[in-house]
Copies of this chain bind each other. A is one copy, B any other.
Amino acid sequence: MEQQALFAEMSLFNWNLYIKRTDDLLNTLTDEQLAGEISPGRNTGVYLTGHLFTYHDAMCDILELGERKYASLDNAFLKNPDKSGINFPSIATLREYWTETNNRLQKYFANMQTAEWFSKHKNISAEDFAKEPRRNKLSILINRTHHLSYHYGQLILLKSK
């Protein structure tokens, strides 16, 4: 259990690191910068912000933490690409949802027992999990941290040169 706690701590350390980096970046970007594209013809910062918090919000479901709050935005930010014609909430609202999602997950994570991180997540059967114990709840957190660092590497291109 001590080793499990260490590994959960290592994984949460990296999650918090990239959430903080992305949060700091979003706070330095103006609404105009966020509305811009990361590279000509590519995703906007607005889309990526929505994409990140809806994807993180969905962790509530897969990690069995509680009800999701922004499933109604999946269509805009998860199921469709940017510039699909679907209306987005205002940038101020997206910033608020980003922060609310981070804070909500942080509270859930603080209350999770170590053993829970090593239990199966919602989208894997007990049979498959017995064969592949690697596919635990912690693997979802780790996967989402890589997804976050991937998009953080793009959002940083919105900064002034």
Of chain B, the residue at the smallest CB distance from A13 is: B134
* CB of A119 within 8 Å of the partner chain: no
Are A146 and B6 also in contact (CB < 8 A) when A38-B157, A157-B38 are?
A: no
A130 within 8 A of B: no
The yes or no answer to A108 lying at the interface (CB within 8 A) is: no
Within A53-104, which residues are at the interface with B (CB < 8 Å)?
A: none
**Dominant secondary structure of chain A at its interface with chain B:** helix
Residues on B with C-beta less than 8 A from A157 are 38-39, 42, 154
Q: How far is the CB of A154 from chain B (nearest CB, A)?
A: 5
Chain B residue numbers with a CB within 8 Å of A13 are 134
Residues from chain B with a CB closer than 8 A to the CB of A38 are 39, 157
A138 lies within 8 A of B41 (CB): no
Q: Tell me, yes or no, whether A29 is within 8 Å of chain B by CB.
A: no
B residues in contact with A153, CB < 8 Å: 149-154
Q: Does A33 contact B (CB under 8 A)?
A: no
Q: How far is the CA of A139 from the CA of B134 in the complex (A)?
A: 17
Which 3 residue pairs are nearest across A and B when measured between Cβ atoms?
Answer: A150-B153, A39-B39, A153-B153
The reply on A161 being an interface residue by CB < 8 A is: yes
A154 to B82, CA, bound (A): 17
Is A35 among interface residues, defined by CB-CB distance under 8 A? no
Does A10 lie within 8 Å of B146, measured CB to CB? Answer: no
**Given the complex, which residues of B lie within 8 Å of A40, measured CB to CB?**
39-40
B133 touches A6 (CB 8 A): yes
- Given A9-B134, A14-B143, A146-B149, 11 more pairs with CB closer than 8 A: A3-B118, A6-B134, A10-B138, A10-B142, A38-B39, A42-B157, A149-B149, A149-B150, A151-B153, A153-B154, A154-B157
